[in-house]
A and B are shown apart, each in its own frame.
Chain A
Amino acid sequence: KAGVTQTPRYLIKTRGQQVTLSCSPISGHRSVSWYQQTPGQGLQFLFEYFSETQRNKGNFPGRFSGRQFSNSRSEMNVSTLELGDSALYLCASSLGNPGANEKLFFGSGTQLSVL
C-alpha cells in the first residue's frame, strides 16, 4: 500500500509569489491534515479536511488556504509569500472516523524556501 505522497519535495520561491503544495493520502483515507514545521516554532497545525470539508483550522493568516478533492487528494496554497513561510510542510492522512483518535500517517513533506 503506497504511503502519503507529497509533491514537490523541494521548492524555492521568492517573496510575494504564491505556491501550491500537493498531498495524496493513503488509499481509503478520507481525512487530510497539514502541519508547518520550523526550527523556531516546531510543528504547528494548519488545517484538516474530511470529505472535502474543512473540519478544523489552525491560527494562520488568510494567506494560507487549502482544499480537498472528491478523491481525498488535498492541496494547500500560500499567497504573497514571506521569508517566514520557509518551512517543511507536512501532510498527514487517516481514515478520519470522528473522535476515534486514529493513527496519522505522515508524508515526507515539502521543503519550501522563500528567498
Chain B
Amino acid sequence: GDSVTQMEGPVTLSEEAFLTINCTYTATGYPSLFWYVQYPGEGLQLLLKATKADDKGSNKGFEATYRKETTSFHLEKGSVQVSDSAVYFCALSGRGGGSEKLVFGKGTKLTVNP
C-alpha cells in the first residue's frame, strides 16, 4: 500500500539556519503530496502542497518540489525562526475513488533556538 517515509527527528537548529527535512513516498499512480505542521496543543495545518510532478509548493518561506524520478518531496527553508518550532508531517493522497484519505509520515520535530 501507499506509504511515506520522513527523516527521524528531533532536529535542533539555531535561528537563521537552513532547514531540510527529507521525505520519500511509495504510491501507485500519481499522488498529491503535502506538508502539514502541528504546533503544540493544536491540530494540523496545511503548510504547502503539490499535485503533479515538478510542481513546487511554497508558503511562509518553506518550499518543496515534487520529484517523481526520486519519489521525494523534501521540505526546505532558507532561514528558520524560533516560531517555526513544531512537528512537520509529510503526507500523500492517492488518486481515484473520490477519497481524501491522507497517508502520513511519522513526523519530524523541529526545535529552533534563538
Contact = CB atoms under 8 A, between A and B. Distances in A.
Nearest to B32: A101
A108 B51 contact: no
B100 A96 contact: yes
Interface string B20-49: 000000000000100010000111111001
Contact of A90 (B43, B95, B97, B107): B43
B61 interface: no
Contacts of B93: 101
Contacts of B104: 35, 42-44
Interface string A43-66: 111001010000110100000000
Interface in A1-59: 4, 31, 33, 35, 42-45, 48, 50, 55-56, 58
Contacts of B42: 108
Given A33-B100, A48-B99, A48-B100, A103 B107 contact: no
A99 B100 CA distance: 7
Interface of B: 32, 36, 41-46, 49, 51, 89, 93, 95-107
Interface of A: 4, 31, 33, 35, 42-45, 48, 50, 55-56, 58, 90, 92, 94, 96, 98-99, 101-104, 106-109
28 contacts: A33-B102, A35-B104, A42-B104, A42-B105, A42-B106, A42-B107, A43-B102, A43-B104, A44-B104, A45-B102, A55-B97, A55-B98, A55-B99, A58-B101, A92-B43, A92-B44, A96-B100, A98-B98, A99-B96, A101-B95, A101-B100, A102-B100, A103-B49, A104-B46, A104-B100, A107-B43, A108-B42, A109-B43
